[in-house]
Chains A and B, each alone.
Chain A
Amino acid sequence: MKEITTRQFIIIAIIVMLTSKFVTMPTIIFAGATKDAIFSIILGLCIELLLIFLITFVIQRNQDKNLFQLLKEKFSIVGAYIIFILLFIYIFARLTFSYQELYSFFVKLLYDEFSPLLFAVPAFFVTGYLAYKGARTIGRTFEILFAFIVFGAIIAISSNLEFLSFDTNMPYFENGLSPMLAGFSNGAFYFGNSICLLFFVGKIKITQTKFVSKTMLATGITALVVTLFCFIFYDVFGMSMQYTLFALTEYSQYDPFILELQRLVWLSAIIDITKLFCSTAVFVYCLGQITKPFLQTKTTLLPIIVSLLLVFSIATLLNYDLEIMFDIIRNYASYATLGLMCLIILICLILCIKRRKNEQKFIQ
């Protein structure tokens, strides 16, 4: 079923790619890489771009099957189930983290007291609603919000431009490459976001030519925006980074010259929260897609309810505590994500190459 247009897919790719990148990622990477953090981010973004490239390539070549059918065809049913289980674990962790991040972001940015339950019920309801309504609704909703998201990103980047000194963190690579790699291994979890684009295989009405190149152009610009944001952030905040947890909340407050109007910049943080919600809905959608073959149902309602209940119980068990999640990310999740990304890259390559061989046979 073709549900979304190319443009909608590109917007989804951009928003998914931006998830958490303005929020908790800069801090976690800085903790490992200190002054070389920006290079960890560039490295991560490059790998993510490669991933997106391969995924869009797979999408372009397989327009008539969904992911599960595709995997079943190439790797047999057992292989498909194994890959789905791996994907389930990643997306599940990503989703749980997303909710926790959202909750902490709210508490840090806006609230004095905020009961987790009061957060969880509406948040799960709305993300679940968007996911249940399917890719078409998600795509269109993102299309509406996209202008605002661009606006938010522009505010976020421009608000601190005047304090840029370019050399705060220079010289780079003072201690070799190891800090950069440490930073990367801390934050690799964040660069796996785009894995969930896999679930849009077979759902895109590809009308435009140059689908892959257009997607790559858009995501490439997004990567540049992320790099620019992080660069400005690291440059302006220097070593006091270690005091920050949510980049954007701190960032929006750091605007010393217009004290009374500084709070306009909150808008960008609020837009970012909306963006986080959007990408969370995408993760819920993916989780629903994964659970579907396991539950052997055709509707999406049951899988989404089941997976959301699971996420809800885990998140409640962890009490929406970010610190625990940070430990998990640093010590386990990032390495696991890295492994999964390699696996996905491999799978995509296999899918592309096999398909090409088939096509050649067909032509002969």
Chain B
Amino acid sequence: MEIMEDLKKRIEYFKQKFNNTSDFASREISTKNGTKIAIIYIENIIDKALLSGSVILTLQNIEVSQKQNIYDLAKSQIIAYTKVSEPADEETMLENILNGFCAILFENTEKVLVVECAKWIIRTPAEPPLSAVVEGPREGFVEDFITNITLIRKRLKSKNLKVDQMQIGKESSTQIRILYLKDVADPKIVEKIKHKLNEINIDGIVDSHYITEFLNTSKHSVFKQVGTTEKPDIAAAKIMEGRVVIIVDGSPIVLTLPYILLEDLQSSNDYYTTPARATFLRILRLSAAIVGILLPGLYIALLTHHIKVIPVKLLITISNSIQGIPLPPLLEILFIIFLFEILYEASLRMPRYMGLALSVVGALILGDTAVQAGLVSPPAVLIVAITGVMSYTLPEQSTQISFLRLIFTIIGGFMGIFGIIIGVLFLIGYLVNMDSYGSPYLAPFAPYIKSDLKDGMRRRGYPQMTTRPESIPNINHRRQKSERNND
């Protein structure tokens, strides 16, 4: 360790290290004995009250007797207020300063102390807007990873819950935490995930979504391959199933792996209501998703290729409404889908008070005017609107559903029902091939895993869920003693 003797020079040296950044600050104080001490830190990330009230005041009041040395004394006194440590080397020290520590330099000694007095702007845990529950915990993750770990630990007070740390990003030095239950999660999977994370060599990570793309097993797939959640209760439940949770500092979105399609079907609401209702909701969601993907395609297919499948009275209604529409059916539907997607996107980006007006009024006015003007037909608007609503029953997959809907619409227009059958077969063939860290993507339906169906389309009661899902690799299969044993 090479720390210069003269305090001033040393401060200057460190300032140089931080490229003369304007928020680099230093304070020079002296103890009662007159020993000079310098404190350096980055101004905007420091809790100033803590710094002056605890660190500086303590240091100023130190009286060094002959036996003691100032370094140990400072350390032992400051520790009463906050975390103090000796950095192993200069690099660590600089890193610590960037993480909201202040470094204390002493006259006549090379040793340095780093004192934690960071003050990040942290949101209080609030209910995340995308995963609201009717009855259930309303806490959500925040941007601070320590708070997030706290939220999970609060639910899993287990000595087996292991938090592995990692840092990714040459510039951002983002803190990554990998959480799993040591006696449940498959060590091979944990190793594999860590290996994948270690391979990342990127300048910076701003959000957890940066990592998901490195963790994807199929690179070009449109399907989601890494689970995300904003709620600690979901994360805790997933850890208990043997999954690995990755927390990225600065992101309220926590990643879970391995990920299977079924997870989208399961909403946290399901677990806070009766099994029968949960089952009903899941069937509803699945059918909504299927309809959301296939309906426009089927409509086009029936209209342009197979009118004989449409019952007479429905055919009359449809043929009357599409009479005189200038666009061919496929273009018409594509046009409306385009319009709706734009509306959705715009309503997200608009300021909130305008967004609401745009999404409701815009859809109504635009749709109605287009129909009135004879540009589009009412059934087409209706179908796109219905499918638009349906795709949001699976909020996590809504983008994929929109994409697939577009594909199936085009195929339906090209080739009719034949094309749709071909498309569905190809899609299923593709999905069953996908694999996420040892979990088949469509498990437990393909391959069929009987024990996992307890929480598949049908949710059984908690007393029946005696085992962890087999589709998620784990080393401890049993979750609770079976009912019979309990009796």
Contacts and interface: CB of A to CB of B under 8 A. Distances in A.
Q: Do chains A and B touch in the complex (CB under 8 A)?
A: yes
A278 B418 contact: no
B211 to A, nearest CB: 29
Nearest to A102: B418
Interface string A4-15: 010110000000
Contact of A8 (B306, B417, B426, B447): B447
Contacts of B433: 133, 136-137, 140
Interface string A128-141: 01100100110111
A143 B448 contact: yes
B306 A110 contact: yes
Contact of A130 (B308, B418, B425, B442): B425
A167 to B, nearest CB: 34
A212 interface: no
A277 B424 CA distance: 11
A293 B417 CA distance: 37
A144 B445 contact: yes
Contact of A274 (B308, B424, B432): B424
A266 interface: yes
B425 A140 contact: no
Contacts of B432: 136-137, 140-141, 143-144
B25 interface: no
B106 to A, nearest CB: 67
Interface stretch (B152-160, B163-171, B310-318, B380-388): B310-318
Contacts of B428: 141, 144-145
A278 B433 CA distance: 16
B415 interface: yes
Interface string A246-286: 00000000000000110100100010011001100100000
Contacts of A266: 309
B421 A110 contact: no
A5 B305 contact: no
Interface string B276-316: 00000000000000000000000000000110111111000
A144 B442 contact: yes
A118 interface: yes
Interface in B415-462: 415-419, 421-422, 424-426, 428-429, 432-433, 440, 442, 445-448
A266 B306 CA distance: 12
Interface in A116-170: 118-119, 122-123, 125-126, 129-130, 133, 136-137, 139-141, 143-145
A129 B311 contact: no
Contacts of A114: 418
Interface residues of A, number: 35
A106 interface: yes
A122 B429 contact: no
Nearest to B457: A147
Contact of B417 (A7, A110, A136, A281): A110
Contacts of A263: 309-311
A243 interface: no
A260 B311 contact: yes
A111 interface: yes
Contact of B429 (A5, A110, A137, A261): A137
Nearest to A261: B311
A205 B202 CA distance: 42
A8 B440 CA distance: 15
A261 B442 CA distance: 34
Given A260-B312, A260-B313, A274-B425, A122 B418 contact: yes
A110 B418 contact: yes
A126 B425 contact: yes
A281 to B, nearest CB: 8
From B308, B312, B313, B429, name the one whose CB has the most chain A CB atoms within 10 angstroms.
B429
A274 to B, nearest CB: 5
Nearest to B445: A144
B429 A141 contact: yes
Interface string A86-129: 00000000000000000000100011101000110011011001
Contact of A277 (B308, B425, B448): B425
Nearest to B441: A140
A261 B446 CA distance: 33
Given A5-B447, A133-B433, A140-B440, A270 B421 contact: yes
A130 B429 contact: yes
Contacts of B446: 139-141, 143-144
A5 B448 contact: yes
A85 B422 CA distance: 31
A330 B416 CA distance: 33
Contacts of A139: 446-447
Nearest to A11: B448
From B306, B419, B440, B448, name the one whose CB has the most chain A CB atoms within 10 angstroms.
B448
B86 to A, nearest CB: 56
A23 B82 CA distance: 80
A126 B426 contact: yes
A7 B442 CA distance: 16
Interface string B50-89: 0000000000000000000000000000000000000000
B417 A140 contact: no
Nearest to A119: B418
Nearest to B443: A140
A118 B312 CA distance: 29
Contact of A7 (B312, B429, B448): B448
Contacts of B440: 140
Interface string A34-72: 000000000000000000000000000000000000000
Contacts of A274: 421, 424-425
Nearest to A276: B421
A82 B432 CA distance: 36
Interface in B382-429: 415-419, 421-422, 424-426, 428-429
B445 A110 contact: no
Contacts of B448: 5, 7-8, 143
9 contacts: A8-B447, A110-B308, A123-B418, A123-B422, A126-B429, A136-B432, A140-B432, A140-B442, A144-B428
Given A122-B418, A144-B445, 19 more contacts: A110-B418, A111-B305, A112-B305, A114-B418, A119-B418, A123-B422, A129-B426, A137-B433, A139-B446, A140-B442, A143-B448, A145-B428, A260-B311, A260-B312, A260-B313, A261-B311, A270-B421, A273-B421, A281-B425
